[in-house]
Structure 1
Amino acid sequence: MMAEPMDDYLAVHFVQRSNWLRAAVLGANDGILSTSSLAIGVAAASDLRDPILLATLAGLVAGALSMAAGEYVSVSSQTDVEKADIMREKAELEEMPEVELQRLATIYEERGLSKETAQLVAVELTEKDALAAHVRDELGINDVSKAHPIQAALASGASFTVGGVLPLLVALFMPIGQMEIYLYGSAILFLAFLGAVSAKTGGSPILKPVLRITFWGTVAMGITALIGYLFGVNLG
């Protein structure tokens, strides 16, 4: 059996998907849940389709833009912190290289290497690229976990849009008489499907994510429907 090329050693793992998968699942979940909850709340207070459609469409557009912008700002802040730490580490390497070398050796020793081997590894990695070694092993920043603001924003905004379109279609085509029930039932199905897909994509068991996402979805939509009934505002 041929050895797997080192460039592809992560191909069979799922950790490299974690950044965009997190943003996509969060966006789709919010798209389904917030748009459905908004539609259910309005449907509980109105017998007409137009107010439901208007609220759902407005929630979809505003939510998608908000998710994309929020994700970009959030991940950009993380990137700024990473860059600041890298610059700080670079300065420390210039000011006290011996201290940083011993710090690196201590890290390897704490991971299980003998004192002599840890020192040897630290010296060799420092000679090759001291900053890269410290960024990776001291700060924990690497290509897999590194933040990507634009990727996260696009994944979040696009997935919110896809998730939000689903309850919009339900509000558009399902009978108005029991709209809350149709919205709730379809949202639970969409959320369960999302939980299963995200678990499969991430290589984890399916049941737990599905139960988690449907439970909290039920809670959110139930509270929203209750508010609509309690206020009893006549939108029709």
Structure 2
Amino acid sequence: MKDLSATTSDSMPKNLIHKFHLSEQLNIIRAGVLGANDGIVSVAGIVIGVAGAQQSQTALFIAGISGMFAGALSMGGGEFVSVSTQRDTQKTMTQLQNLNIENDYQGELENLTHHYENEGLTTDLAQKVASQLMKNDALNVTLKSKCNIEVQHYFNPWNAAISSFCSFILGSLLPLLSITFIPYPYKVSGTIGAVILALTCTGYVSASLGNSNRFKGILRNLLVGIATMSVTYLIGGSLG
């Protein structure tokens, strides 16, 4: 029994660390996919709307490039603020948990024991595992069991912000280049076709990351993108 407890205490923190690091990586990927998708839809909506107003090639390019950088800065800044708030929450939870351990060590030990019982361990084994892990690193193990937080491994807001900013730029390049270089009279239709292809890709990727239905993810993405371009084109056409 002692060997089993020691093995559990050695392997469990590594598994939890791996889980946390994976969640941080997925958060960066999520920001990147979201940024690319927004870049495609936002800039496509802008340039299609300006094209609907029958503006010059120069006006199309200026509108597109302005929307690209404005959107990228907005997305990057939004991700930075959002993940910074999450990081502050993680630090606050760490401080509160440290106080809980200092003021009620036995209560935290009992909570950890119940946690492992709920995970399927027998009461006797759960008590031994919880006791050993609390002796090794009480703060880390209780934080992982309660909040899936690892001390000193908080989400980095700069990673998400840079991922979102760069992916927005990359996503917005497609509609911008399409509306700029595709000749009349195929400029609008060609841009819409390129955007539909790009949205299909980002919809598939986002659905795959979330382990959800790929077809629904793609369809949802396409409906939002096509609706955005249709509305902006109609507005540009009516006001131009």
- Give the Cα separation in 2 of the matches to 1:200 and 1:87: 36
**1:41-190 paired onto structure 2 within 5 Å:** 41-142=49-150, 146-190=154-198
Q: Between 203-212 and 103-112, report the one with greater CA deviation.
A: 203-212
Deviation at 1:146, TM superposition (A): 4.6
- Give the Cα separation in 2 of the matches to 1:220 and 1:182: 16
Structure 2 residue 211 is matched with structure 1 residue 233: no
Deviation at 1:108, TM superposition (A): 1.4
Deviation at 1:55, TM superposition (A): 0.8
Q: Secondary structure at the match of 2:239?
A: coil
Of 20, 32, 40, which aligns to 2:40? 32
Deviation at 1:233, TM superposition (A): 2.3
The 8 Å contact of residues 140 and 150 in structure 2, kept in 1 or not, is answered as no
The 8 Å contact of residues 179 and 188 in structure 2, kept in 1 or not, is answered as no
Counterpart amino acid of residue 111 in structure 2 = R
Indicate how the Cα distance of structure 1 residues 200 and 92 shifts in structure 2: closer, same or farther if over 3 A, else same.
Answer: closer
The root-mean-square deviation of aligned C-alpha atoms, in Å, is: 2.6
The 8 Å contact of residues 48 and 176 in structure 1, kept in 2 or not, is answered as no
- Give the Cα separation in 2 of the matches to 1:214 and 1:190: 9
Greater share of helix:
2
The 8 Å contact of residues 29 and 191 in structure 1, kept in 2 or not, is answered as yes
Q: Deviations over 1:16-56 (max 9, x none)?
A: 64111101100100111100011111111124222211111
Normalised TM-score (structure 2): 0.83
Q: Secondary structure at the match of 2:174?
A: helix
Counterpart amino acid of residue 164 in structure 1 = S
Q: Deviations over 1:67-91 (max 9, x none)?
A: 1111111101100001000100001
- Give the Cα separation in 1 of the matches to 2:235 and 2:126: 61
- Give the Cα separation in 1 of the matches to 2:157 and 2:189: 38
The 8 Å contact of residues 72 and 169 in structure 2, kept in 1 or not, is answered as yes
Report the counterpart of residue 3 of structure 1 in structure 2: none
Deviation at 1:104, TM superposition (A): 1.1
Normalised TM-score (structure 1): 0.84
Indicate how the Cα distance of structure 1 residues 148 and 90 shifts in structure 2: closer, same or farther if over 3 A, else same.
Answer: same
Deviation at 1:199, TM superposition (A): 5.4
Q: List alignment gaps of at least 5 residues for structure 1.
A: 1-5
Deviation at 1:209, TM superposition (A): 3.0
